[in-house]
Amino acid sequence: MKLPEAKDKFMQAWGTLGSSWGINRTMAQVHALLLISPDPLSAEDIMEELKISRGNANMNVRALIDWGLVSKTFKSGERKEFFSAEKDIWKVATQVMKERRKRELEPVLKLLHELSNVEGDKKDKNIKAFNDSINGIKGVVSKADKTIETIIKADESWFVGSFLKLMK
């Protein structure tokens, strides 16, 4: 397969994967494009490669910066901004985990805590079923939360090298 075709398939696939994980398709495609570019790209480059408007390019690049996956760079003598993506995929993965943990897991945990004890007769089977569910979910969600925290703090070599051995 030639490079242009491969690039295209990759950006497509990254976009699809992103959108099934709650990340806007175009944002994921911009990310893919920057990931495989050896040099930083300008807004124009992005608009052109992905055939998207200036506004769209701008918004999605901002979002990626907000997620900590992309940063601005400057070329001497050029006034416009260039963008480049973090190339270390392990860092990308931990950064995404960190953000999603903060944005989604933490609020859910907070709510689950609030829902932990409803008023009323603990013998009522509706109340009992509810409390049991909430507690079960709370257990698994907070375990997942702590696991992610540990993974984020661990370094790549640990993950790559030891994880599977430890799990045996």
Partner DNA sequence: AATAACTTTCAAATATATTTGAAAGTTCAG
Partner DNA sequence: CTGAACTTTCAAATATATTTGAAAGTTATT
Q: Which residues bind its own copies (CB under 8 A)?
A: 1-3, 6-7, 9-10, 13, 17, 19-22, 35-38, 87-90, 93, 103-104, 108, 111, 114-115, 118-120, 125-130, 132-134, 136-137, 139-140, 143-144, 146-147, 150, 154, 159-160, 163-164, 166-167
Q: Which is nearer to DNA, 62 or 143 (CB)?
A: 62
CA nearest neighbour of 146 among 108, 91, 116, 106: 106
CA nearest neighbour of 16 among 4, 39, 2, 32: 32
* Torsion angle, alpha carbons of 12, 14, 19, 23, to 10: -130
Contact status: 24 vs DNA (CB under 7 A): yes
Helix (H) or strand (E) holding 122: none
- Give the phi and the psi of residue 122 in degrees, each rounded to 5: -65, -15
Shortest reach from residue 24's CB to DNA, in Å: 4
Contact yes or no for 150/166 (Cβ under 8 A): no
Contact status: 63 vs DNA (CB under 7 A): no
Q: Which is nearer to DNA, 67 or 94 (CB)?
A: 67
Stretch that binds DNA, among 2-10, 79-87, 102-110, 130-138 (CB under 7 A): 79-87
